[in-house]
Amino acid sequence: MIKQPPSTSETPGEAAARIFALNDRINQLLIEKLDSRAWSARLPAPRSLEVRTIAAIFTHMHNVRTKWIRLNAPHLEVPAQLGRARCTPQQARAALATSAAACVQMLAEALDGSGRIVSFLRDGWAQPLPPGREMLWYMLAHEAHHRGQVCMLAHQLGFKLPGKITSAMWNWEAMIRDHHGRMD
């Protein structure tokens, strides 16, 4: 039997914002605990099979967030994009924190029923999604996919993350308890 979460007075917008903030905390943890030598390392591969660096993956995540904000919540301040060639882990962490704060606000507005955000535009070519849970699910899936790439790439480069860290990434209950789902 599936346990039901305790009842809460949290609105759907507040819940979505809290969940996305927790998602960003996992990104922050991953960058913080990643061996710095892995950040710009490349796998030996022919040019045609070249894989993004970890730096490029995290800058992509931030830059996609800025696109979502620009397309869906232009009334919010759109964070500056990052250049993947020179981005440091510290710059990525700061930029991700900034874009996460704007995404948190965008999600809260999308689910508050005000009608300020009427659809979720992912890109110029993709069909819009409703401005609710589907929006949150898409955003979380995108980021989880790229975190998986980062973990795999770090392992392939010889910088396997400690089990304590990979376990922490999956232990949302502890993160909620320890960080109350806030960005800090």
Residue 8 to residues 16, 47, 64, Cα–Cα distance (Å): 13, 52, 32
- Return the residue matching tokens 């900034």: 98
Establish if 164 belongs to a structural domain.
Answer: yes
DSSP H or E run through 109:
helix 89-110
**Assigned domain for 183 exists:** no
CATH number at residue 124: 1.20.120.450
pLDDT score, position 131: 85
pLDDT for residue 153 is more than 70:
yes
Confidence of residue 183 (pLDDT cuts 50, 70, 90): very low
**Could you give the CA distance from residue 27 to residue 54 in angstroms, rounded to a whole number?**
12
Per-residue pLDDT at 178: 74
pLDDT for res 9:
83
- Give the span between the Cα atoms of 99 and 150, in whole angstroms: 19
Distances (CA, A) of 65 to 68, 122, 129, 131, 166: 5, 9, 16, 15, 24
Whether 184 has a pLDDT exceeding 80, the answer reads: no
**DSSP-derived secondary structure letter, 129:** B
Backbone angle region of 47, left / alpha / beta, with phi > 0 → left and psi within -120 to 50 → alpha: alpha
Residue 24 lies in a domain: yes
Does residue 169 belong to any structural domain of this protein?
yes
Tell me, yes or no, whether 1 lies in a domain.
Answer: no
Global confidence as pTM: 0.88
| C-beta neighbour count of 14 within 10 angstroms | 17
Give the structural domain span for 122. 12-39+51-178
Query: How many other CB atoms are found less than 10 A from the CB of residue 33?
Result: 15
How many independent structural domains does the chain possess? 1
Max Cα separation, the chain? 54
What is the mean pLDDT of the segment spanning 66-78?
A: 95
Q: What is the pLDDT of residue 2?
A: 55
Give the per-residue pLDDT at 44.
Answer: 85
14-40 pLDDT, tens digit per residue, is: 999 999 999 999 999 999 999 999 999
**Which residue in the block uniquely carries the two structure tokens 């990979």?**
166
